[in-house]
Structure 1
Amino acid sequence: MRRLPTLTTFWLLVVIGFLAGCSDSTSTPDRPEPLVTGLPDFTLLVEKEGPAVVNISTVTHQDQAELKEQMDQIPEFFRRFFEQFGGEGVPQVPQEREARSLGSGFLISSDGYVLTNHHVVAEADEIMVRLQDRRELKAELIGADEQSDIALLKVEAQDLPVVDIGSSAGLKVGEWVLAIGAPFGFDSSVTAGIVSAKGRSLPSDSYVPFIQTDVAINPGNSGGPLFNLRGEVVGINSQIFSRSGGYMGVSFAIPIDMAMDVVSQLKEHGKVSRGWLGVLIQEVDRDLAQSFGLDQPRGALVSQVLKGSPAEQAGVQPGDIITEFNDEAIYRSSELPRWVGLVKPGEDAELTVIRDGQEKSLTVTIGLLPDDPSLAMQGIIPGQDGADALGVQVRAASEAELSKLDLKAGVVVTEVKEGPARLAGIESGDVLVTLNNVPIDSPETFAEAVAALPESGTVAALINRDGNPRFLALKLK
């Protein structure tokens, strides 16, 4: 039978084991320091920067004229129904209504300049800014830019708390960030997360390289600041990706570097001027890359060069693949408008294109983006589409659209305003084939045909709607 070791023997064994452990540790290589040492503490950041974050509320008055216009859109069938069975005819135009919205913003100067999102204050008749100390101040809209979703407000006050403006250029994926705002109207709510990606392009926003985060953002957070751990604003919380209407782990912020450039232009000019190339582009997929002799999908494929545009003057041709713009590599077509928009109109830019399998360098003098960039993106140049004469906007039809309808030529109607076209029954999405017996094969020929119309009388237009051709009579003045 073995005896248990005595107390002296026990401690001797402990000391020997400790010394052996020390000996082993000195013989092994040093281990690297852990990359993450602990969770950050945001308390000091919130205490310092929180007072400069504001809640923004707006009121929009919908006047009777606008409501009457909406009531006039009631179909004739329902009008007869109300007259026959309602007893009092078509419902009366309601009284003036008010629409209210909530959002966030932040003070960028002690004399009252406030930065927020354009969509927070769009079409607002009254804008109120509520500070953290519960003061409410009426705000004036200095300027707004729909394309970048930035708005600059001004309140009359002095010695206001301000945020520290940082830079989004040095922001790294994986870096901690924090948002302060008013989701669902809950003032001064704080949420935190990390940067998930940079330079994200969204389908509805071609001019903003968004910062993607997993910070919890909800309705009411829009326009609020995104901070780094140094307490500097690096972005403006703007959008969320959601299937439910609420936060689902994917949020987007506008880089502060871009926002402050917009602010300087709004202060000086009241609007933002952007560069314009004048091309319609599409993504290069694997099959297209192979057909053009590329080793991998990259670049922006030019499908159309607009007549009279800077691109046409520089010699850009349909079929060119733009792979670089001012030494910036273009991997996806959505990246090109962003870089072009940053160039001031009138300045030269360098393009690298692949044409017939060979790289070619071009110099283009950037133009001024039209006031309605969506028209330019569709191949519509304001002043050349006959919208003022007929009340209709058009764009070039793609080969696929024409083939589907078994047409050789035509233009697609993109918008119908008040005028002869709407009265004749032309609708958005129709393909206009002829106008006054003149074949229409491009927005330019459409503009020429409109210019040649008589000042009064009736002319015929041949359209194709969902594969069904029909003539419509357009009554001029």
Structure 2
Amino acid sequence: MSIKRPSLKTILQSSAVAGLAVVMLSTGVPAQIAQSYADAVRVDAPQVPGFANVVAAVSPAVVSVRVQSNVQPVADDGNQSFNFGGRGFDDLPDDHPLKRFFREFGGPGGGDRAERGPGHRGEGKPHLRPTSQGSGFFISEDGYIVTNNHVVADGQAFTVVMNDGTELDAKLIGKDPRTDLAVLKVDDKRKFTYVQFADDDKVRVGDWVVAVGNPFGLGGTVTAGIVSARGRDIGSGPYDDYIQVDAAVNRGNSGGPTFNLNGEVVGINTAIFSPSGGNVGIAFAIPASTAKDVVADLMKDGKVDRGWLGVQIQPVTKDIAESIGLSDASGALVVEPQENSPGLKAGIKEGDVITAVNGETIKDARDLAKRIATFAPGTKVDVSIWRDGKAESLAVTLGELPTDQKQASADEDSQQETAPSTEKALAGLGVTVAPAEDGKGVAIMSVDPDSDAADKGLKEGEKITSVNNQAVASASDIQKVIEQAGKDGRKKALFQIESEGGSRFVALPINQG
């Protein structure tokens, strides 16, 4: 008798039905077979506002800036030779990588050789070559563009690339190295999408910002972050007042805008702090308040006219304030009025502390430089000073800041040679001095390395020209001034130090008794 075994299909069907029956019995679902799948995971969490609306509105106004400069090809005059593994350039195959490289970038056998003809041995003519690229943005519908001075400084030809890829030629209208700003202009009949400057007085640390630009030549790139700090001085110029942001800013973002959430420009990206050369979350932008006035002047006549006081200044430290009887460590200490300057003509002297201009308090030396720069040349201003323990006021007619005016550093130390002479020690100061060879001041012959003078940076070879604004020519002169300061209840005296790097003031403690 043969037994008929069920097929595999029958077994599987029976098992499925049995399993279904178990499920139906245990769950009480109706005897109706239906196929079901699990739902995908979805979390109903609060949605963080994005930046898409801002980006969509402002992106058409942001451009990439390409700069070309004249590059002089190497002269093929027979006075130089190129050797590659024992072979000259002409011995290399035409498809050799080095030959292709030099042909493209203007080395031997490349560049303008085709224009000059074979066998030409004279100097090559300059050619425009791409030298830099950055970012910028339209500030008016008729084609004015803001960017950085350092992006366009050495350029002879400029091209702007819009966010849709359109390339347009631009010309340089003006530039201002002191604030690192420049203005380009596109001559085109179309009306451009443009943006406007924000009131950066309302910008707070912690506010969201969006940076748009051309990092590493990639074109329109958007990054977001917050305002990290305000009023940053990075030592790039006399008007430093940067906004610090943590949005990712890299090479190529220079000249590009940083926006608030209203699509207004709060700053122009200019510099980054980066040990590696890439973004580390510390970027600096020129504030809109600075850029607005400079850009307006550049658009008007291609340059910026600033008032000029003509004094070398340094900050007022607590020690200096105490040494001259000033209640607060504020204002700008005059190291030296410059020759034929408006300040000198008005009676400003070395050792004066400028405390206010037109009644507005001066916080520090940088604040004075910025304040004077806001006035036009020829403007008459009232300058408040602190001199010899009391307040005075002087009327000054500002001049025009010379274009080649160099910003002297008031704190550079250097050494100069002095002729040997009789030495005399000043007790308690830690310096040994002798009359200067030129009869002006006293020469510092030695400095005790453990003294306050050494801590303040005094060095052998420098000169002390005045103490508490009184000229000195000998050690006894210094001692007399110090004794008088002690009688007046002062604990410190103000020394004017002169070196090859310039003049500066240093407050030193005076130990009487």
Q: How many angstroms does 1:94 deviate by?
A: 8.1
Q: Which residue number corresponds to residue 363 of structure 1?
A: 395
Q: Which residue number corresponds to residue 168 of structure 1?
A: 200
Q: How many angstroms does 1:192 deviate by?
A: 1.6
Q: Which residue number corresponds to residue 112 of structure 1?
A: 143
Alignment of 1:45-444 (within 5 A): 45-63=54-72, 96=126, 98-157=129-188, 158-374=190-406, 377-378=407-408, 401=414, 408=437
Residue segments in structure 1 that go unaligned for 5+ positions in a row: 1-36, 380-396, 411-430, 432-463, 467-477
For residues 359 and 284 of structure 2, the distance between their equivalents in structure 1, rounded to whole angstroms, comes to 26
Q: How many angstroms does 1:173 deviate by?
A: 2.3
Change over 3 Å in CA distance of 1:287–1:139 after alignment to 2: same
Change over 3 Å in CA distance of 1:57–1:291 after alignment to 2: same
For residues 364 and 101 of structure 1, the distance between their equivalents in structure 2, rounded to whole angstroms, comes to 43
For residues 232 and 372 of structure 2, the distance between their equivalents in structure 1, rounded to whole angstroms, comes to 16
| C-alpha contact (below 8 Å) 1:206/1:335 kept by paired residues | no
Q: How many angstroms does 1:163 deviate by?
A: 1.7
Change over 3 Å in CA distance of 1:210–1:398 after alignment to 2: closer
Larger radius of gyration: 2
TM-score by length of 2: 0.60
Q: How many angstroms does 1:399 deviate by?
A: 11
Change over 3 Å in CA distance of 1:211–1:326 after alignment to 2: farther
Percent of aligned pairs sharing the same letter = 43
TM-score by length of 1: 0.65
Change over 3 Å in CA distance of 1:230–1:355 after alignment to 2: same
Number of residue pairs the alignment of both structures matches: 343
Deviations 1:31-72 (A, max 9, x none): xxxxxx9854211000111111001111111235xx78xx9x
Q: Which residue number corresponds to residue 423 of structure 1?
A: none
For residues 218 and 43 of structure 1, the distance between their equivalents in structure 2, rounded to whole angstroms, comes to 21
Alignment of 1:2-41 (within 5 A): 40-41=49-50
Q: How many angstroms does 1:202 deviate by?
A: 3.0
Change over 3 Å in CA distance of 1:325–1:217 after alignment to 2: farther
Q: Which residue number corresponds to residue 42 of structure 1?
A: 51
Q: Cα RMSD over matched residues?
A: 3.5
For residues 412 and 207 of structure 2, the distance between their equivalents in structure 1, rounded to whole angstroms, comes to 46
Q: Which residue number corresponds to residue 450 of structure 1?
A: none
What residue identity is the alignment partner of 2:183? L
Q: Which residue number corresponds to residue 394 of structure 1?
A: none
For residues 70 and 331 of structure 2, the distance between their equivalents in structure 1, rounded to whole angstroms, comes to 46
| C-alpha contact (below 8 Å) 1:198/1:210 kept by paired residues | yes
Change over 3 Å in CA distance of 1:409–1:197 after alignment to 2: farther
Deviations 1:320-372 (A, max 9, x none): 11222334433332222111111111112222221122222222111100011
Deviations 1:98-140 (A, max 9, x none): 3421100001122211111111111112111000111000111
Change over 3 Å in CA distance of 1:398–1:196 after alignment to 2: closer
| C-alpha contact (below 8 Å) 1:273/1:368 kept by paired residues | yes
For residues 286 and 270 of structure 2, the distance between their equivalents in structure 1, rounded to whole angstroms, comes to 7
